[in-house]
Amino acid sequence: MKIAMLAPIAWRTPPIHYGPWELISSLLTEELVKNGMDVTLFATANSQTKAQLESVVAEGYEERKDMDAKVWECLHVAHCFEQADQFDIIHNQFDFLPLSYSKLTDTPVITTIHGFSSPKILPVYQQYNHNTHYVSISNANRSPDLDYIATIYHGIDTDQFSFHPESEGYLLFYGRIHQDKGTKEAIKIAKALNAQLIIAGIIQDNDYFNRDIKPHVDGKQIKYIGVVGSDTRNSLLGGAIALLHPINFSEPFGLSVVEAMACGTPVVAFDKGSMPELISNGENGFVVENTEEAIEKIKQINSINRRTCRQIVKDKFSKERMAKDYMEVYRRILNGKVSQK
């Protein structure tokens, strides 16, 4: 089976720091190769892979601000589809633009929908609903206007996250600094508990950071340490009492939630989006309605077995399980045994 894996080109695949779509594209590609599949990864030229690499752009447009993203995205997608007849499956991790090429080839196209950036893009998905195959990354992130071949949860490389049986006494916010992710709410929770909070992540909204976050950062109780790489991510996640995920939007999945649990760290998250699918109350964290409930649940966090947190990830959210699920979908499509769910 020959697979074309069409990754985004905002960052390299895998990303050095931020880039969740590129990360999943990489994890899946490498696991498919390990399973003996013939995979060609369409990504930036500085990407790293054991698959065959095809590129039209040297590096991601988020790394080169002088690049016109739309120009290079069009060239990137076209480069893949111009070779469509060489593949059995085109797996689109790129979002909606490649769908507009899908009727130009007989090669089946499967699209992992990582989330809907805006309701305005939904008409594209609706237009190509019946000639492509959609995979949702959580049941919560499904649109009632679309058909899906499967829900496949993201998987991570659990070997990159070592188990930490005990915390180092701080709370952690790990993610984009943005209103959606609830950085301000995390600070409120930490202050109410008189607990230290470490904030790590890319600043996606400078106005929000300067207005609602920076005034509280004192370097002692509230610390902002910027973007962390894989070399420090493991110890940072594993040392936390809990990961705070007080989101203000419907989270499609939540890789940081799974990564924290892989280290043994429970998660306290607002009840939005996929959170009830990732977190079982009292087993690997708590799903709460608001900051007040979060504060009360954190007081009970020691009742959670940190080994259970890691085991749930190994059972449900590994890259091996993710690849197995996708390979089954590929086989169903190629064998004509396709039913939308």
Residue-range domains of the chain with CATH: 2-155+318-334 (3.40.50.2000), 158-316 (3.40.50.2000)
Cα–Cα distance measured from residue 248 to residue 110, given in angstroms and rounded to the nearest whole number: 30
Record the pTM. Answer: 0.92
Alpha helices in 65-170 (DSSP H): 69-81, 122-127
Q: For residue 274, what are its two tokens? A: 């996929």
Cα–Cα distance measured from residue 287 to residue 270, given in angstroms and rounded to the nearest whole number: 6
Query: Residues 202, 20, 323, CA angle at the centre, nearest 5°?
Result: 160
Of 34, 82, 43, 78, nearest in space to 61 by CA: 43
How many residues would you count in the chain? 341
Percent of the chain at pLDDT > 70 equals 99
Cα–Cα distance measured from residue 203 to residue 222, given in angstroms and rounded to the nearest whole number: 16
pLDDT of residue 339: 55
Q: For residue 4, what are its two tokens? A: 């074309």
Alpha carbon dihedral 161, 233, 241, 250, in 10-degree steps, equals: -90
State the greatest distance between any 2 C-alpha atoms of the chain, in Å, as a whole number: 61
Peptide bond into 14 cis (omega under 30): yes
pLDDT in tens, the chain (341 residues): 999 999 999 999 999 888 899 999 999 999 999 999 999 999 999 999 999 999 999 999 998 888 999 999 999 999 999 999 999 999 999 999 999 999 999 999 999 999 987 889 999 999 999 999 999 999 999 999 999 999 999 999 999 999 999 999 999 999 999 999 999 999 999 999 999 999 999 999 999 999 999 999 999 999 999 999 877 999 999 999 999 999 999 999 999 999 999 999 999 999 999 999 999 999 999 999 999 999 999 999 999 999 999 999 999 999 999 999 999 999 999 998 665 54
Q: Can you name the residues that pair with 243 across neighbouring β-strands?
A: 172, 267
pLDDT of residue 18: 82
pLDDT of residue 338: 64
pLDDT of residue 277: 98
Residue that the structure tokens 């609903």 belong to: 129
Taking only the tens place, the pLDDT of each residue in 135-179 is 999 999 999 999 999 999 999 999 999 999 999 999 999 999 999
pLDDT of residue 63: 87
